[in-house]
Amino acid sequence: LPDARDGLKPVQRRVLYAMDQLGLNYDKPHRKSARIVGDTMGKYHPHGDSSIYETLVVLAQDFKKGMALVDGHGNFGSIEGDGAAAMRYTEAKLKKFTQDVYLADLDKDVVDFVPNFDETEKEPSVLPVRVPNILVNGAEGIAVGMATNIPTHNLGEVVDAVIAYMDNNNITTEELLQIMPGPDFPTGGIVANKSDLKDIYENGTGKLKLRGKLEFEKGKGREKDKLVITEIPYTMIGAGIGKFISDVIDLVETKKTTDIVDISNGSDENGIRIVLELKKGADVEKLKNILYKKTKLEDTFGVNMLAIADGRPETLNLKGILRNFMEFQYQNTERKYNVLLEKELDKQIRQMESTHPG
Report the DSSP beta bridge partners of residue 226.
217, 277
- State the burial class of residue 236 (Cβ atoms within 10 Å of its Cβ: 0-12, 13-18, 19+): buried
The amino acid occupying position 97 is F
- Nearest-5° angle of CA 230, CA 67, CA 172? 90
Active site residue 89: yes
Q: Note whether 66 and 124 are within 8 A (CB).
A: no
Q: Among residues 191, 16, 172, 40, which one has the least CA distance to residue 100?
A: 16
Report how far Cα 65 is from the mean position of its chain's Cα atoms: 3
3-state secondary structure of 157: helix
- Nearest-5° angle of CA 286, CA 287, CA 291? 120
Q: Note whether 201 and 171 are within 8 A (CB).
A: no
Report the DSSP beta bridge partners of residue 167.
none
Residue 121 CA to residue 185 CA, distance in Å, equals 37
Report how far Cα 186 is from the mean position of its chain's Cα atoms: 8
Q: Which stretches of the chain are DSSP H helices? A: 10-21, 33-39, 49-60, 96-98, 133-136, 155-167, 173-179, 197-203, 239-253, 284-294, 318-355
Q: Note whether 137 and 61 are within 8 A (CB).
A: no
DSSP 44: I
3-state secondary structure of 132: coil
Kind and range of the H or E run holding 128: none
The dihedrals phi and psi of 6, each to the nearest 5 degrees, come to -105, -5
User: Among the options 89, 165, 201, 234, which is catalytic?
Assistant: 89
Residue 274 CA to residue 232 CA, distance in Å, equals 10
Parallel, antiparallel or unpaired: strands 205-211 and 190-191: antiparallel
Catalytic site positions:
89
